[in-house]
Structure 1
Amino acid sequence: MTISPDGIIFWQWGAFALNATIVFTWLVMALLTLISWLVTRKISTTTEISRWQNLLEVLVIGIRDQIRDVSRQEPGRYLDFVGSLFLFIAMANLLNVVPRYMAPTGSLSTTTALAICVFVAVPVYGIVYEGPMTYLIHYVRPTWLMLPFNIIGEISRTIALAVRLYGNIMSGTVIVAILLSLTPYFFPVVMELLGLLTGMIQAYIFAILAMVYIASATSAHQRIAKTNNQNQPPADEKGEAHG
């Protein structure tokens, strides 16, 4: 029983192997690109819009609202990254209804790549909005002795992101395969529907956790700006003091 798309080889030449993980990952990206182009090629700014544009707007607004609720910041700067993570994982998991398809998120290499993207994005966002020194000094607070522990914490949560998504998708595949061998008609259908629900939940959780990590890296910048604003006297007081 094949539980990971890594074990399915479509073509191999020497050390290079084209497995199902690579093929289905490119398939998901191609479908997302095609759907995006079809929906936005005749996008309308009037009140009369197509059903697909309406669905797209609902989806984008929903993602923006979730980002705003989690980060307490304007969602525009995070929408592209977090939205791409959610849409890719969701599409990859939803396609499980297609026969002979295996979600690339059932491969540890795919989930690790996604987690590494988050691992890189967190300090990038933090450095952009706080500055290099202000962000990096967090790793040595309250003392320099915390530096290795903070680094280990960054690495461990990246591993947790990858393993959590991989474990949930892989376990669903195993359960469906076992039930299919025992009762090949009714239970696999139910489990397939449950697997779709689980896949969507996992896409949501992964995107939310990514946003939580990014928000924690930029929250200090917001607190510093707020503190500076509170310490500044009002405009009229400045005028009186100057006079």
Structure 2
Amino acid sequence: MQITPDSQIVFSLPLGALGVWDIPATIVNTWIVMAVLVIGGRIATWRTDRPGPAATPLSRWRIGVEMVIEMIRAQIREIGGGDPGRYLPFIGTLFLFSLVSNLMGVIPGFLSPTGSLSTTVALALCVLVAVPIYGIADNGLLGYLRRYFEPTPLMAPFNVIGELSRTIALAVRLYGNVMSGTVVVAVLLAVVPFFFPVLLQLLGLLTGVVQAYIIAVLAMVYIASASGEEPGAAENQIHRKETGA
């Protein structure tokens, strides 16, 4: 039984002398999620930018999307303390991609892209790149680099290692949580093919929402830290959510 999108080959492209390029479900399902987000966003904003009577009244779809956006803005404001508009495109995209990927994993035959370590590593690398970009934009190059030498210059190697290790932890965290649910469901489908898998699929929906929230908030915590904020309260909040305390 194939339970990871990397192990499922959707189709192969012949490359002549270079051989054959196998396209796994990870790539195909990632593009499907991207298409869902683009089409859904387009539907939600259809004709809303037209003034006068040509503008379409607020639909339930658009109201729902605006509620999600306002929720993301509120979380960014709570963690970063600044203008959420600066971080909304990146944090919002990260959250929505993870959320839709996790929720679509309950569709029969669809393997969530976030169940692939390559996808979660790519998301974590995006965070790794975004942190210094926002940090330099807020504090300048020297101001951002100075934080690696605090409290003493001897701590610089350890601070760099900490930056890299939390990126790895971010990738493994999302991958492990998504894959663990997939493995459990696959095992129970072989043992008890009716009742328990349904309950675990519902639990998987809840877990997918929580994990999307966590990866987005952690990304904002890292960015806020690079910008000179104090994200300790947000990290404690995430820890309480994960441990159920």
Q: Which residue of 1 aligns with 2:197?
A: 188
Q: CA RMSD in A?
A: 1.7
Q: How does 1:22-33 map to 2 (within 5 A)?
A: 22-33=27-38
Contact 2:80 2:229 in 1 (8 A): no
Cα distance in structure 1, aligned partners of 2:48 and 2:191: 49
Deviation by residue 1:143-182 (Cα, 9 ceiling, x = unmatched): 2211110110000000000000000000000000111111
Identify the match of residue 41 of structure 1 among 42, 46, 53. 46
Deviation by residue 1:5-29 (Cα, 9 ceiling, x = unmatched): 0000112342522000000000000
Q: Which residue of 1 aligns with 2:173?
A: 164
Offset, 1:95 = 0.7
Offset, 1:3 = 2.5
Q: Which residue of 2 aligns with 1:140?
A: 149
Offset, 1:220 = 5.8
**SS at the partner of 1:42?**
coil
Deviation by residue 1:109-138 (Cα, 9 ceiling, x = unmatched): 000000000000000000011100111111
**SS at the partner of 1:10?**
strand
Q: Percent identity?
A: 56
Identify the match of residue 102 of structure 2 among 73, 89, 93. 93
The answer to which of 9-18 and 69-78 deviates more is 9-18
Q: Which residue of 2 aligns with 1:9?
A: 9
| TM-score (structure 1 length as normaliser) | 0.87
The answer to which of 36-45 and 208-217 deviates more is 36-45
Offset, 1:70 = 1.1
Cα distance in structure 1, aligned partners of 2:216 and 2:170: 10
**SS at the partner of 2:87?**
helix
Is it true that 1:178 corresponds to 2:162 in the alignment?
Answer: no
Q: Which residue of 2 aligns with 1:152?
A: 161
**SS at the partner of 1:97?**
coil
Cα distance in structure 1, aligned partners of 2:11 and 2:146: 48
**SS at the partner of 1:16?**
strand
Larger Rg: 1
Runs of 4 or more consecutive aligned structure 1 residues displaced over 3 Å after TM superposition: 44-48
Offset, 1:42 = 2.1
Contact 1:43 1:53 in 2 (8 A): no
Is it true that 1:107 corresponds to 2:112 in the alignment?
Answer: no
Identify the match of residue 90 of structure 2 among 71, 81, 93. 81
**Number of residue pairs aligned between Structure 1 and Structure 2:** 221
Q: Which residue of 2 aligns with 1:124?
A: 133
Is it true that 1:70 corresponds to 2:79 in the alignment?
Answer: yes
Query: Unpaired segments of 5 or more residues in structure 2?
Result: 231-245
Deviation by residue 1:165-210 (Cα, 9 ceiling, x = unmatched): 0000000000001111111111111100100110110000000000
* Compared CA separation, residues 127 and 50, structure 1 to 2 (3 A): same
| TM-score (structure 2 length as normaliser) | 0.87
**SS at the partner of 1:131?**
helix
